[in-house]
Structure 1
Amino acid sequence: MQRFVLFAATALAVTASPVLAQAVAEAPDPYIWLEEVNSPRAMAWVEAENARSLGVLERDPRYAGFEADALKIAEATDRIAMPRQIGGKVANLWQDGAHVHGLWRMTTPADYEKAEPAWQTLLDLDALSAAEKANWVWGGANCEPLAEKRCLIALSDGGEDANTQREFDMATRSFVDGGFALPKSKQWVSWETPDSLIAARDWGAGTMTASGYPFVVKRVRRGQPLDAAPEVFRGKPDDVFVIPRTFTDGAGHSEVVIMRGVTFFEAEFVRVTAQGTTPIAVPRKSTVTGLTQGRLIFQVNEDWNPSGGPAISAGSLVAVDPAGKAAPELIFAPGPRQSADADEVAVTRDHVLAAVYDNVRGRAMRFTRTPSGWQQSVLPLPDNAAVSMVSSDTTSNTAYVSVQSYLLPTALWKVDAAAGTAAQIKETPARFAADGLVTEQFEATSKDGTKVPYFITHRAGMKLTGATPTLMTAYGGFQVSYTPHYSGVTGKLWLEKGGAFVVANIRGGGEFGPAWHEAGLKTKRQVIYDDFAAVAEDLVARKITSAQKLGIYGGSNGGLLMGVELIQRPDLFGAVSIQIPLLDMLRYEKLSAGASWVGEYGTMANPDEKAFWLKTSPYSNLKRGAAYPETLIWTTTKDDRVGPVQARKFAARMKEYGLPYLYFENTAGGHGAGANLKETAKTSALEMVYFHRRLMDR
């Protein structure tokens, strides 16, 4: 009884009243100066905080070993070189200890299947960075349709979303002298023909949205200066973004599609023709994924009753005639506990492949268009794992698919979509000792009665005494599904040491389709935080772990989740790692790309949505004297998506209030743990030292 009263009193003590939260929010922000990302004052603060925190974490006797292990895993030369099919060959971007920035290289499909392929280097990013005195981070290759003889190479400085793009000749393995070159911008560029591009970028004053993305699309012709490019399409300044994409299929059809993002989740689609642009009749909540037999493949994320066609449920895959002359064709409709992710749809010459999840357990499916409708079959790959479409080619029926789970190292399978067969061709060696480990799936009951699934990986003989140090993570936003994955670092530095690892499939994600996501939008968001707390309570109730032994972590939107859990339920956790986070939700719209996420979080211009964040925003609801566990907060200076400023301000307020925290800011890295494998390994080691100190040592 005393234990219950103590926890209840603690929870009551740290819940800031709406009046207090509003007073804090409306008072002048004493840390607004930390929003000046690269100002000397702000960077001096970062340097001092880094020195203090690194002095704690790097001096731990475990740090050097953890960093060495993490780096060995990251730079392992026996990991799979993931393929990208280009022009009938296989390309790969490779990083290791000798190639920090990376080698872009190529081989033949037959040679790729060998244990040691004979790679030919296309571009050495380390040499390029040295020659140009830059910190180039690979942003991808966008190759011209069908022939794929030339590609646009995207390079960013230190991992920013903003990039430069230059034309590269695959035959000469060099940048094209006088070729296409688009200077630094947040931009989307697509080939229209070998001699013309369709580009959305910063064209000058009045061409970028409030979110910091382009809304004007122009046609860039070879040899023509950018300022002479004619306009093709114009969105509106209050749109989120406008993105052009080119799709081709095996029959030679080509479609240039422009997506006008009205909100983050709603868009209007138009096709570019010789006569101009014409709308494509699909619901606003849709995502285009490819082209086959002249039909665009969409995932629709709302119920749809198209004229002349069957009723289509939210989450379905459909084939759409871009000219609107034929009714949409249903490819696949998921069941109530199923989902298909638009990012995991691949198109070959004659088929569509997709990863389909049933209760967060994946399988690969093949869909074939026939005169009587679309037929489906299951590809012969392992079930109950995470399936990812790695590469496909619309000029052939060959695709590459990866399969992994919490204890199954990533394997690469070659799929013959025409025959409906698959064969494993590569496998990552185990990075940790999995003998005696098991993965189980349980369900927790959230505050409103919703069943929330979660996976836990642990020792088979784990004693249910509440003494197992446990790490738990989730994302819970933007319809992003958190599917099973193999993490060598987590296995080596945590599971091997006797810890348990939990992934919670909470609402806000896409694990069960659009409805699972929309249940937690805007003012309904508290269900996401209740789901996460419910899983934590279920772990304690099952005596798997205890509050003192339970640590949590998450990044970006998941970092916001961690901040809210710290504020609302500090009694449930012994350690909290907040990564590259949103935390000041009353100002998030004004910071970095924050205005683009109004569809997810709401806007402070709406009184109801502002009232929700007044009582929920972590930065506004920190409380002096509260019994928070020591918190690790880390971010990166070069992150131009979320930005480092919210993490900085949260740490500064914790310091002001005398609350325990550690803060680390990587001065490169973009929206992630580092700009290269060495930086990523360092961040992983720092975080694992923190968790061991908080959970293993107590």
Structure 2
Amino acid sequence: MTSQAPEAPEDDGDPYLWLEDVTGDEALDWVRARNEPTLAAFCDADFERMRAEALEVLDTDARIPYVVRRGGYLYNFWRDAANPRGLWRRTTLDSYRSESPEWDVLIDTDELGRTDDTNWVWAGAGVIEPEYTRALVALSRGGSDASVVREFDMATREFVADGFALPEAKSQLAWVDADTVLVGTDFGEGSLTDSGYPRVIKRWRRGTPLADAETVFQGARTDVRVSASVDRTPGFERTLLGRALDFWNEEVYELRGLPENPELIRIDTPTDASLSIHRQWLLIELRTDWFYGANSYPAGALLAADYDEFLAGTAELTVVFEPDEHTALNHYAWTRDRLLLVTLADVASRVEIVTPPSHDDPLRPAPPRLRSSRSSWRREPVAGIPEATNTVVVAADHAGDEFFLDSSGFVTPSRLLRGTGDRPLEQVKSAPSFFDAENMTVAQYFVASQDGTQVPYFVVRPADARGPGPTMLYGYGGFESANTPAYSGVLGRLWLARGGTYVLANIRGGGEYGPSWHTQAMREGRHKVAEDFAAVATDLVNRGITTVDQLGAQGGSNGGLLMGIMLTQYPERFGALVCSVPLLDMKRYHLLLAGASWMAEYGDPDDPQDWAFISKYSPYQNISATRHYPPVLMTTSTRDDRVHPGHARKMTAALQAAGHPVYYYENIEGGHAGAADNQQVAFKSALTYAFLWRMLGRPASGP
């Protein structure tokens, strides 16, 4: 396992470098000394009321238990007050349709933690298909990305003695067959990349030592990671291996001929494209323009080809989706014979069913005239989705025709819709309303950023709001992640129902308008993310929705970097900032934990040309002792092994030394999410809103 602190950090004049020692006694004493005044300042009676309300929302049995189909069962992972660490369980469709499904519990994480005397957090399970008899269960200590892996027998409900098992690491496994897996993990010196992820994939047979596993694939130390996946669909069995050159570029290969005559076949798509293979179809999602054959295909397009024809160099590509100025592909998912396509038009979702020209099956071949990928793909909108909601695919059965959609909005609770084939959508579950939304309004506005780009944002507020009021502006702006409208009972109860206004900014760096919305804000274009966010902040004041003193902003991870930039570059536009699990020291981010994997997004600070633009915005290097800063709530987690807690620690220390108002809270567990169970999520939420209400003031009509 990689160390949580960088080895032998050089003293580059940073007086707070010692705070990068994650679990060092001196550093943890510093953490406790700053946690205490923060808790004393905000954990009053109103905080306790908000914490209880948040926990009521998070733990209620009335919320939707989202499921994924594996064979004849629907599987769900569930946390509530009685099971804070959660239950992995399953039920049948008929039972699931009822108001009180009968759940068959496979693993009780709380009970397992008590048995092992370990604070386990569920990290997922890889189930062998199509048998669904064994699972490779990942368990994290305190919510970190690193996890231990154990093999679980789904019939006996027991972990397999002497089965496949891995110690704590950022591992990756894939079933080859019941007695063989492909594994990437920490095999020892040289087996991890600079980012701390697997560099080597090995073939591991049951009953043999991991040390004897045979290497089948490896990348370079400077790669982000290598990966393996195995498709065991009868007639379409394939093993795919990936080598992530950086966060956005990957070489993908098919591995054939194991174990006697292994052969790697490169799937020669652009390295920055995302590809997926389903049965006979290859789908290619482009991030940049691509010239293939005599044709040119635009960034953001989704292309399809017959997989075998593509490998042979004889495929003709079909454009399944092509973006325009307002519309982008959000995500897609396969059932056995159809493709579910979710697009965004000015951040409003649309769902379509796409039918390939034939449903080829090597076990039941179609007539030759139907077996070409050159025929058109038929696209039809999915009927029955509620209006004015955002819809996402939450599960699709790639072996059958079933899929589940979740439809919700800022003030509309989730509805879970089930579809099968050509039948009308069936609402199988609905979430309760956690706050009174009758008096809420939702509006979308656009504002010109510094370079003239029109940036959209949503405003949710009480319809009877009288003049400007306390407002929380949320943003992320990175890694092509699209922020779309969604219902949040906690936000509704603790902020909207109390008279607050919520704003979601769809700034560049995200994926709301496809790859170009992101790529223009990468590396030297990073300043556009901040300019967009600052433009929204200014527009909110100009429209009379809020005032500078009543405007707060929140962001986490990459969004935490955005908050750091707002603090140091645009402090006069905000009354308070909440900065969660942030990146802040951009001079050393690539040396800390998974930071090296993000250099394609931000640049390499060791390269003088890159540091020239990074240094202009890196919050830790741009603190001013003379400029007025709004108060900041800085939160992180000791167990975060993705974004190093040293970022938040050092920034807090430097801000305090410069005399700026900063409140600090570090959870001793919780991983990059900042919380490991609903109790911790409720606590973190209540702390955030208690801070914002204190700093921004109550609305005229509020409690």
Equivalent residue number for residue 366 of structure 1: 353
Equivalent residue number for residue 412 of structure 1: 416
Equivalent residue number for residue 343 of structure 2: 356
Equivalent residue number for residue 251 of structure 2: 268
CA distance in 2, matches of 1:147, 1:70: 40
Does the Cα contact within 8 Å between 2:356 and 2:378 map onto a contact in 1? Answer: yes
Q: Which amino acid aligns with 2:134?
A: R
**Mapping for residues 79-98 of structure 1, pairs under 5 Å:** 79-98=63-82
SS at match of 1:409: strand
Matched, 1:254 2:237: yes
SS at match of 2:45: coil
Equivalent residue number for residue 564 of structure 1: 565
TM-score of the aligned structures, taking structure 1 as reference length: 0.93
Does the Cα contact within 8 Å between 2:476 and 2:510 map onto a contact in 1? Answer: yes
Does the Cα contact within 8 Å between 1:243 and 1:260 map onto a contact in 2? Answer: yes
Correspondence for 2:327 among 338, 354, 363: 338
Equivalent residue number for residue 396 of structure 2: 392
Q: Which amino acid aligns with 1:362?
A: S
Q: Which amino acid aligns with 1:599?
A: A
CA distance in 2, matches of 1:610, 1:663: 28
**Mapping for residues 525-540 of structure 1, pairs under 5 Å:** 525-540=526-541
Matched, 1:590 2:576: no
Equivalent residue number for residue 71 of structure 1: 55
CA distance in 1, matches of 2:506, 2:461: 18
Equivalent residue number for residue 524 of structure 2: 523
Equivalent residue number for residue 302 of structure 2: 317
Q: Give the superposition deviation at 1:314.
A: 1.5
Correspondence for 2:15 among 30, 45, 53: 30
Equivalent residue number for residue 17 of structure 1: none
Equivalent residue number for residue 46 of structure 1: 31
Does the Cα contact within 8 Å between 2:171 and 2:184 map onto a contact in 1? Answer: yes
* Per-residue Cα deviation, 1:19-51 (whole angstroms, up to 9, x for no partner): xxxxxx996111000000000000001111111
Equivalent residue number for residue 463 of structure 2: 460
Does the Cα contact within 8 Å between 2:638 and 2:669 map onto a contact in 1? Answer: yes
Of 166-175 and 650-659, deviating more is 166-175
Does the Cα contact within 8 Å between 2:506 and 2:512 map onto a contact in 1? Answer: yes
**Mapping for residues 528-677 of structure 1, pairs under 5 Å:** 528-677=529-678
Change (3 A) 1:312 1:147: farther
SS at match of 2:84: strand
Of 593-602 and 133-142, deviating more is 133-142
Does the Cα contact within 8 Å between 1:102 and 1:126 map onto a contact in 2? Answer: yes
CA distance in 1, matches of 2:211, 2:232: 28
SS at match of 1:599: helix
CA distance in 2, matches of 1:240, 1:437: 45
Matched, 1:422 2:425: yes
CA distance in 2, matches of 1:108, 1:542: 52
SS at match of 1:101: coil
* Per-residue Cα deviation, 1:363-416 (whole angstroms, up to 9, x for no partner): 221111114221111112234432222111122100111111101111111011
Q: Give the superposition deviation at 1:331.
A: 2.2
Change (3 A) 1:609 1:213: same
CA distance in 1, matches of 2:131, 2:273: 29
Does the Cα contact within 8 Å between 1:533 and 1:569 map onto a contact in 2? Answer: yes
Q: Give the superposition deviation at 1:298.
A: 3.3
CA distance in 2, matches of 1:695, 1:683: 18
* Per-residue Cα deviation, 1:247-299 (whole angstroms, up to 9, x for no partner): 355x641222112110100111111111322100111112234x333223332
CA distance in 2, matches of 1:384, 1:260: 41
SS at match of 1:373: coil
Does the Cα contact within 8 Å between 2:603 and 2:614 map onto a contact in 1? Answer: no
Q: State the percentage of identical aligned residues.
A: 38
CA distance in 1, matches of 2:136, 2:377: 35
CA distance in 2, matches of 1:587, 1:511: 30
Does the Cα contact within 8 Å between 1:366 and 1:420 map onto a contact in 2? Answer: no
Equivalent residue number for residue 362 of structure 2: none
* Per-residue Cα deviation, 1:531-554 (whole angstroms, up to 9, x for no partner): 000011111111111101100000
CA distance in 1, matches of 2:184, 2:387: 40
TM-score of the aligned structures, taking structure 2 as reference length: 0.92
Q: Which amino acid aligns with 1:169?
A: D
CA distance in 2, matches of 1:320, 1:246: 20
**Mapping for residues 78-477 of structure 1, pairs under 5 Å:** 78-249=62-233, 252-274=235-257, 275-289=262-276, 291-307=277-293, 310-323=295-308, 324-325=311-312, 326-327=314-315, 328-341=317-330, 344-370=331-357, 371=370, 372-380=375-383, 381-416=385-420, 418-419=421-422, 421-463=424-466, 465=467, 467-477=468-478
Does the Cα contact within 8 Å between 2:122 and 2:138 map onto a contact in 1? Answer: yes
Q: Give the superposition deviation at 1:110.
A: 1.4
Q: Which amino acid aligns with 1:633?
A: M
Q: Give the superposition deviation at 1:492.
A: 0.5
Does the Cα contact within 8 Å between 1:76 and 1:96 map onto a contact in 2? Answer: yes
CA distance in 2, matches of 1:334, 1:195: 45
Structure 2, unmatched stretches of 5+, are 1-9, 358-369
Does the Cα contact within 8 Å between 2:640 and 2:674 map onto a contact in 1? Answer: no
Structure 1, unmatched stretches of 5+, are 1-24
Q: Give the superposition deviation at 1:697.
A: 4.4
Does the Cα contact within 8 Å between 2:223 and 2:244 map onto a contact in 1? Answer: yes
CA distance in 1, matches of 2:153, 2:509: 43
Matched, 1:483 2:470: no
CA distance in 2, matches of 1:437, 1:692: 19
Does the Cα contact within 8 Å between 1:248 and 1:394 map onto a contact in 2? Answer: no
CA distance in 1, matches of 2:51, 2:253: 49
Q: Give the superposition deviation at 1:306.
A: 2.3
Does the Cα contact within 8 Å between 2:554 and 2:563 map onto a contact in 1? Answer: yes
CA distance in 2, matches of 1:35, 1:237: 23
SS at match of 1:99: coil
* Per-residue Cα deviation, 1:128-156 (whole angstroms, up to 9, x for no partner): 00000111111111111222221111111
Q: Which amino acid aligns with 2:35?
A: N
Equivalent residue number for residue 20 of structure 1: none
Does the Cα contact within 8 Å between 1:87 and 1:148 map onto a contact in 2? Answer: yes
SS at match of 1:115: coil
Q: Which amino acid aligns with 1:388?
A: V
SS at match of 2:198: coil
Aligned length: 665
In angstroms, what is the RMSD of aligned CA positions? 1.6
Does the Cα contact within 8 Å between 1:593 and 1:640 map onto a contact in 2? Answer: yes
